[in-house]
Structure 1
Amino acid sequence: MARFVLVAALVAMCAGAGCTHDGDRPLPPPATLTELPIGEGAVPAGAALPDWFTVPEGAVLVGGPFTVFPPEPDGMATRPDLPEDRSWEAILAVTGNPLDVMKELQQQASALGLVFQPAGFSNDPVSTATFCRDERDGDHGTYVCRALAAPWDARTISFSNPIPPDQLRAMTIVITQQSGDRDRPSESTATLTYRDDGVAAWGVVDAFGDPAAALGAGPGPPPQPWVPLPKIGSPFGTGGDFLLERGSDLTIPTLPACEGLGLDAVLAVDTQTSDPQVVLDRYVDQALAITPSGEAGRTTARRSIGDVTWVSVSEHGAGDDGYVFAMTQTADGRSSLRITGCGSPPDEPGPTTTASAG
């Protein structure tokens, strides 16, 4: 159930000399793709996003928009004074030139009266000289674009000149492209995070550049190789953490997380043939089966607000070990599921459960 951007050429790869089985029969080589595979649940450019943004040309929406109220281990506490439908995050697959994607987002932000400026980390001052930069080393490394869109120039904000209480809204845009290797998958994504509480600005980046800065140099060769999207019952995740459940499809290959030990997966749920909550529960059952139970057992928590449901599964007291699920149903009837987590320790086995046939 997957289509491919442009034409996905299959490249035969065979490790080792001979590639034979039982001494004489060739083994089927693993297949990889030279183009980013996009699942059926993706939404094309031009589609509406919240707060008057749209999916830019050169990208497709593959996850969300998810309401940004992540579950917390101690009861999923959130700030009750904030509007529960105003903060969101969308995951886009970048299928075109990242510079073109940034340029269109810049135009959208300007049309909304927002200041669009480079954003980076304080220990990486060069990253704020332009919006995009190539950090590749040969065929490896990363091409990144980072920006902040807000009603104010972040360089003017300080302890003595804080953000006005009625202007806390801000969006961060982070585009990442990297070719994969044996330790990490390829990636070509844009993450748009919109917050009404200032967290988008101060919780992600803390260095800002000139809004008049150049976009930057263009990217190098497109990332590759790509692995085909899994079929029902097949494993996905860095370590094969989960098995793909019926009624759901990955919209893009899983993304790197936790320095290669975890996963960040975005899936579309077929609401015509499946109950999204049932599909979610099946993945939670898989997480329970592969998450270690410490001396104090596992910690699970669930919270729902309207059409949004969060579930967390973790080893009690083990910090980041475990998984978080976010399920949302959008206004156009789509259901989108995101699974993130650092998973089990490296010496733990993969999933021992089987995907449901129902």
Structure 2
Amino acid sequence: MREKDKVVLGISIGDLNGIGSEIILKTFQDARMLEFCTPVIFASVKLMSFYKKALNLNVSVHGIDSLDKILHKKLNVYNVWKEQVPVNLGKEEKQAGEYALKSLEASVKALKDDKIDVLVTAPINKSNIQSETFNFPGHTDYLAKELEGDSLMLMVTNSLRVGLLTDHVAVKEVSENITRELIEKKINTIHKTLIKDFGIVRPKIAVLGINPHNGDNGVIGKEDDEVLKPTIDNLRNNGKVVLGPYAADSFFGSGNYKNFDVIIASYHDQGLVPFKTLSFGNGVNYTAGLRKIRTSPDHGTAYDIAGKGIANHESFREAVFTAVNIFKKRNDYAAFSKNPLEIQPRKTFSKKK
């Protein structure tokens, strides 16, 4: 039985040998988290009991074999499998990836079937999770296939949002992937996301250049002049507040990013290096543009510290807060759009440290 206004939050376990289980359990050691959402871990009770003992964590779990048996104010563990799985913390192993995929597939199915409201994914290893059913460079592309829509990797904190035109693409292939059609699609997606999911009425968007110094009038590359600038002009002429392209090397250091609701980077490291420098440990990866909500922490499996009990769970906790808040914002937007004169917005919760 669902409680009114209680968000059911699914959690995929991630790589079994990484820090995923540690940061999940540490997050829900704080009983106050159960007031904000009802968590459901997609794994097995046997596995979570192993982690609790190995990491000396004091947190109760409630095992269920049906998603109709979810209990509120409990840390639910849905048994995706029953067998005991060997865990070698800190080791990259194929089997760990296979069970990470089992968890992910089960949690995404539950999301599609409306058994859970939102999904938070613990980190996977992009190599050992590859299989016949998962042939993607990461979560974002997999979720785009499963959940439909124009997916976009959006990194968020309370004071900074960074989106990407290209994400897990080799550097040598970046410029050939950035077309006018791609730019328009990505910026339209982020514009809609900021309105629906973050409650920003008139988003202000900055776009970073593709080449150093925006190509220096074609000396270092023509893509900025021939592709990026005309597309930005067209978007602006159609009513969107889109400015740029800005030279990426000085944009963050100058503090100019503070003047915008989102910054669009051309490729992965151009956006994520400054993002993680400014916010590492508190950032959240949000897959914007999909019909369902998915967030994750801004770090990887961290094999080097797995099993040592020292993993910082702040980013995972922020991913939980972000997923719940976006769910409520999106519902408020839908209600306003349907009958704007009668519906009053519901307040989102305040994070408790």
Shorter-chain-normalised TM-score: which range? under 0.3
More helix by share: 2
Report the TM-score, using the length of structure 1 for normalisation: 0.23
Report the TM-score, using the length of structure 2 for normalisation: 0.23
More strand by share: 1
